[in-house]
Amino acid sequence: MYHDLHGKVAVVTGSAQGIGRGIAQRLAREGCKLVLNDIAEEALALTAGELREQGAQVLSIVADVGSRPQVEAMFAQAEAWQGGVDVLVNNAGWSVPVSHLLEMTESHWDDVLRTNLKSMFLCTQTAARSMVEAGRDGSIVCLSSFGATRAHRAMAAYDASKGGVEGFTRAAALDLAPFGVRVNAIGPGAIHTEFFDHEGLEGQRTRARPVPLGRVGQVQDIASGAAFLASSDASYITGQVLYIDGGMHAQLRPPEMDRPLPDALGRFRRAAHAHLQDQ
């Protein structure tokens, strides 16, 4: 637990479902007062209701974070509710539908960049202005992806947006450091959310095959990283990207592409494989 987060006001965008919902749940357990945001009104209401039942103080705001007027209105409501903001988690994003570069429309490109990158600029700038004016040492956490440095097929717009998120995170960290506002990012790998439930256990195993740790990540893995970066335990960390990806960034190629190993090493590899299968 990060006791310094208790009573802090945290805005989590895209928090109706998936990773954003998990981050909101974790920050609620840390004692944060939550401003939840999404464009999915019904799902947002359900998440807010669940957190209130658990004792969290929650303000729920339906807003498009790609729109400056709506972003400014959201933070104005947060300030009116609690007097300011201490933590911002830029989670809102869009990864589907995929689109091959040869078939991608300009509107698809614009929509992805607006949702994944412009929204982070708008929310970060608005939150940071509030933090600086109030003299708060704030923390801003941006959700990137391992797609920022490792390309997906048929996802040029998405990967470009996430590369932009990481460049923006570093630049924003430098601009805001003199004011005591930290800016970091998390790069999730293959994470299981409710959107993958229909694939079942076999789907999880398929997604886990190239992951060195042998499993897909869980929402809680990302939420733990967000809580850490938001807390004072990370008070000397800014401008960084924390990859939570089961080791995907560390490997040159997936296991099935490795050369045959000598017998001794092969025994260890087989033992490791058996261990992963038992998990």
pLDDT in tens, the chain (279 residues): 899 999 999 999 999 999 999 999 999 999 999 999 999 999 999 999 999 999 999 999 999 999 999 999 999 999 999 999 999 999 999 988 899 999 999 999 999 999 999 999 999 999 999 999 999 999 999 999 999 999 999 999 999 999 999 999 999 999 999 999 999 999 999 999 887 878 888 888 999 999 999 999 999 999 999 999 999 999 999 999 999 999 999 998 887 777 766 665 556 666 666 766 666
Spatial distance between the Cα atoms of 255 and 271, rounded to a whole number of angstroms:
14
DSSP class of residue 16 equals S
Residue whose tokens read 């959201």: 74
Residue 237: C-alpha distances to residues 66, 73, 85, 229 (Å): 27, 30, 19, 8
Is residue 259 in a domain? no
Predicted pLDDT of residue 196? 81
Q: What is the pTM of this model?
A: 0.92
> Is 100 within the bounds of a domain?
yes
User: Domain limits at 147?
Assistant: 3-253
The answer to whether residue 158 is catalytic is: yes
* 179, 196 Cβ separation under 8 angstroms: no
What per-residue confidence (pLDDT) applies to 279?
Answer: 60
CATH of the domain at 171: 3.40.50.720
- Angle between helix 18-29 and 219-230 (nearest 10): 50
**Distance set, CA 262 to CA 18, 27, 249, 270 (Å):** 43, 48, 25, 12
Q: Which of 2, 158, 236, 243 is catalytic?
A: 158
Cβ count near 3 (within 10 Å) = 10
Q: Does any domain span residue 111?
A: yes
Q: Which two tokens stand for residue 129?
A: 């202005």
Let me know if residue 274 belongs to a domain.
no
Q: How many domains does the chain have?
A: 1
Say if 265 falls within a structural domain.
no
> What's the pLDDT at 273?
67
Specify the pLDDT at position 241.
Answer: 98
